[in-house]
Structure 1
Amino acid sequence: MRYFEDIEVGSTEEFGEYHVTKAEITEFAEQYDPQPFHTDEDAASESAFGELVASGWHTAAMSMRLLVDNYLGDQAGMGGRSADELRWERPVTPGETLSLRLEVVDKHCSESDPQRGYVDNYIEVVNQDDEVVLSYIVTGMIERRKSDE
C-alpha cells in the first residue's frame, strides 16, 4: 500500500490501454450527453467535428477508469478533492486507444486532519498517436502512514 509519505513530487507514470468503441460512445451520450454529434453518425457528419465523437465527460470517465485500474488501486486513497484546468484538447473517435500519463506536481499535509495529505497530479490522456485528448490537474486525498509513537 502506498501512503502519502511514499509519493514523490516529480515522479511520473505512463499506463493503460482503453479501446473506445462506437457503441460505448453512443450509449454514454444517450444517457448523459445526448447531443447529436455524440449519438447520431449522420448528424455528426454535418457537425463541426465531421464525425461521431465521444462526449468530453465520457473521455474524463474513461480517464478515471485508467487511473483506478492502473494507479489508484495500490494507494491509501481517501477520494478526490478537486479537478482543475480541465481541457478537452481534441475529440475522441471510435476505434481510438487511450492511455494516461501522470506527473505528481505537488503534495501537502492537511491542516485539519493529521492523517490526510493532498497530492496534485497533472494528467494527460493520449491517443494511439500520442496526441493529448484531455488534460487536467486532480487533487487526491491520501492517507498518511500512522506513526508508531
Structure 2
Amino acid sequence: MSEGAVSEDRYFEDFVVGDIHRYGRFEVERGEVLDFARRYDAQPFHLDDAAAAKTHFGRLAASGWHTAAMSMAMIVDAGNLAGGGGSLGALGVDNLRWLKPVYPGDVLHATSEILEANPSRSTPGRGTVKLRTTVLNQDDEPVMRYEAITLWRTRPAG
C-alpha cells in the first residue's frame, strides 16, 4: 500500500498487481462547481440552488465530469500513478460510474488498485497498467469508480 506522493520517477516495472495506492485531498469549492458547469455541463442542478433542490440531488451538485477532473488532479498531484519519467498517458477508461453526488464542501480522496501490468507484445520498452480508481468523500463513501488503462515506459538500462 502506498500513501501520497513519491519523489522518484515511476516506470512499468514499479507497478505490482494487487498494490493499492491511497492519495489525495481535494476540497470541492462552490465557485469551481459553478464555473465548471457553466463552461462544460450547464444543467440546472449544477448551476442553480432552487433547480437542484427540486431534483434527487436535493441541492447543488458537481458535474460528474468535474468529479473526474478532480480525480485526475489528485492522481497527478500524488505523482505515483501518473507523470514522471515513465508515463506515456492513458489509452482509455472503462466502467466509469458515478456512485453518489458530489457537493460543494465535500473533501475527496482516492484509492487506486493495480489490476493488471502487461508488457507490450508489439512495442519493446513499454507496458500497460490497468488501475481501478475509487474516489471517496470525507465520509469514505465511494462517489465515483473507473478503470483506466495507462501506458508506461520500462525502466531505462543502467
User: Structure 2-normalised TM-score?
Assistant: 0.90
The unaligned stretches of length 5 or more in structure 2 are: 1-8
**1:46 aligned partner:** 54
Query: In the alignment, what sits opposite 2:63?
Result: 55
2:48 counterpart of 1:11: no
Among residues 93, 101, 114, which one is paired with 2:103 in the alignment?
93
CA distance in 2, matches of 1:47, 1:30: 19
Distance 2:13 2:22 in 1: 21
User: Aligned with 1:145: secondary structure?
Assistant: coil
Distance 2:127 2:47 in 1: 41
Aligned residues: 148
- 1:36 paired residue among 37, 41, 44: 44
Query: Where in structure 1 do 4 or more consecutive aligned residues deviate above 3 Å?
Result: none
Identity of aligned residues (%): 43
> Is residue 2:63 matched to residue 1:27?
no
Partner residue of 2:5? none
Q: CA RMSD in A?
A: 1.2
What is the alpha-carbon distance in structure 2 between the residues aligned to residue 101 and residue 91 of structure 1?
18
CA distance in 2, matches of 1:27, 1:146: 42
SS in 1 for 2:38: helix
Select between 68-77 and 109-118 the one with higher mean Cα deviation. Answer: 68-77
Aligned to 2:121: 111
The amino acid of 1:146's aligned partner reads P
User: Deviation of residue 75 (structure 1)?
Assistant: 5.5
Cα distance in structure 2, aligned partners of 1:102 and 1:17: 14
Partners in 1 of 2:132 and 2:126 — Cα distance?
A: 20
1:112 is displaced (CA, Å) by 1.9
Deviates more, 1:20-29 or 1:74-83: 74-83
Deviation at 1:22, TM superposition (A): 0.9
